[in-house]
Structure 1
Amino acid sequence: MRPEAGQVLHFSEDSGIRAFVPHVAATARQPEAYVWAVDHEQAPAYWFPRQCPRAMAWVRPGVTTGADRDRIIGAGCGTRVHAIEYAWLDAVRATTLYAYRLPADRFRPFGEPYPYAWVATDPVEPLGPPEPVGDLIARHAEAGIQLRILDDLWPFWDQVTAGTVGFSGIRLRNAQPRFVKCGLPRPG
């Protein structure tokens, strides 16, 4: 599920949104009210239940080393990987997610050093009814994006953020606490 030319997407578990009104998100790092959307490149980062913590990494041409590509992405395994915790797998399988197509000309790019989202400061109406995204695991497979299911996101995240790959973490505050040592039961 990707936007067509002249569109951006907003993903939601709510199929009844008639208009998107700018708001300050609870997790916002800026005080401005926005309507948030994503483009073709960033859409796969939202093929998850809203609250699902996920760590994502991708090859950056001319930047990512061969060693990091093999170690983090995997030798011969495409250019992008998304990771979630086992605890979220049932939710990923069961969640019905909808994509709202929005007019791109109402939005501007947002993010530094490169745009990772699109924002509007005025209300925006969808171009049509929301579309079910379908099987979220299948969307990853069709896009050639690895989907890793891990007991603990933190060792993967630590490798990703210390390497030369591009990366993004969404809702990591919802991830399980770090293990004292990977593979050992969580204390208490």
Structure 2
Amino acid sequence: MLYHISEESNIEVFVPRKAEAWPDLPPVVWAMDEKHLINYLFPRECPRIIYSNSQKVSEADREKFFSQTVANTIVVVEKGWLERMMQARNIQILLRG
């Protein structure tokens, strides 16, 4: 499955757009798979760090970052963004095709 995330609740048709950050690309509709979905569940400008536990994580880092949680993925955001994040309403729209 592919997902498109938006704070706009009235999208009926996905219209490809030019991506300012990648001017060489043709107009596109951005979509992501479930593995990368967490990266987009935040307001667009929100600075964040996302890290996950895996076999590649050293024992020292596992102890430092994951010893006090059962979570496999941790998201860190600045405290100043908490109120805005609480107000955000992300809409998950399943793309079929």
Query: Normalising by the residue count of structure 2, what TM-score does the alignment of the two structures yield?
Result: 0.83
SS of residue matched to 2:30: strand
SS of residue matched to 1:56: strand
Backbone CA RMSD of aligned residues: 1.7
* Cα deviation code 1:77-127 (max 9, x no counterpart): 222111110111001101121111101x4xxxxxxxxxxxxxxxxxxxxxx
Q: Identity across aligned pairs (percent)?
A: 28
TM-fit CA distance, 1:10: 0.7
TM-fit CA distance, 1:60: 2.9
Which portions of structure 1, spanning 4 or more consecutive aligned residues, are displaced by more than 3 angstroms? none
Q: Which residue of 1 aligns with 2:12?
A: 18
Q: Which residue of 2 aligns with 1:57?
A: 51
CA contact (8 A) 1:24 1:31 kept: no
* Cα deviation code 1:112-156 (max 9, x no counterpart): xxxxxxxxxxxxxxxxxxxxxxxxxxxxxxxxxxxxxxxxxxxxx
Query: Normalising by the residue count of structure 1, what TM-score does the alignment of the two structures yield?
Result: 0.46
Check if 1:47 corresponds to 2:41. Answer: yes
Aligned length: 95
Within the candidate set 2, 5, 18, 1:8 is matched to 2
User: Whole-Å Cα distance in 1 between the matches of residues 18 and 52 of structure 2?
Assistant: 29
Ranges in structure 2 where 5+ consecutive residues have no aligned partner: none
CA contact (8 A) 2:53 2:66 kept: no
TM-fit CA distance, 1:76: 4.8
Amino acid at match of 1:66: E
